[in-house]
Chains A and B, each alone.
Chain A
Amino acid sequence: DTGVSQNPRHKITKRGQNVTFRCDPISEHNRLYWYRQTLGQGPEFLTYFQNEAQLEKSRLLSDRFSAERPKGSFSTLEIQRTEQGDSAMYLCASSLRGAGSGSYEQYFGPGTRLTVT
């Protein structure tokens, strides 16, 4: 257990429905990342937050996707009008970024597996 939790762990939804996932990072971590992973591939970056500010979004994040991190704590990822191609594992990670240069490890949650039927 890394200290990053994600809910729900599994979600099955019908095409066209909206879904929302939640990520609770390690409490003192100021950075939060969302990734998506499909079968046989490595995770792909979607977006990240520093505190409550969303600083970068991948081109993978279409208009149907939105992420928030109110108050710089937990984060939600919403997918509207789901499509079968959205079926994947959605992973959240957090890190503590200090001042200055350097590189910091990310701690991942167990993921939310989405199946769109």
Chain B
Amino acid sequence: DAKTTQPNSMESNEEEPVHLPCNHSTISGTDYIHWYRQLPSQGPEYVIHGLTSNVNNRMASLAIAEDRKSSTLILHRATLRDAAVYYCILRDGDFGNEKLTFGTGTRLTIIP
């Protein structure tokens, strides 16, 4: 799987938008961009994924650069419950095995 690069940690104020960046300069044409998050003492939780176009769901938005070498997860209005480690992961949609290769992610702290 192609590798991703994320900042180790970020802070944001409660009720403000949060933009979590991810670089994936070696992404291939069939790689999907997935985001998962892990709240303290829980298993990872799926957030969103996309291939080329920007995506929105009830949890977040995913903005994908035109060259697909970077992406940004957007939490529109952070709450204290959004404090978690956020993982950006590439998955080959043509390969079949969908194992997730986690890095160390970005630890997001929300300031009340």
Contacts and interface: CB of A to CB of B under 8 A. Distances in A.
Q: Do A and B come from one complex?
A: yes
Contact of A2 (B30, B43, B102): B43
B34 A107 contact: no
Interface stretch (A13-21, A43-51, A63-71, A73-81): A43-51
- Tier of interface size on chain A: 20 to 34
B58 interface: no
Interface residues of B, number: 24
27 contacts: A2-B43, A2-B45, A31-B98, A40-B104, A42-B87, A42-B102, A42-B105, A43-B44, A43-B102, A44-B102, A48-B97, A56-B97, A56-B99, A93-B43, A93-B44, A97-B98, A101-B93, A103-B49, A103-B51, A103-B91, A103-B93, A106-B100, A107-B46, A108-B44, A108-B45, A109-B43, A111-B43
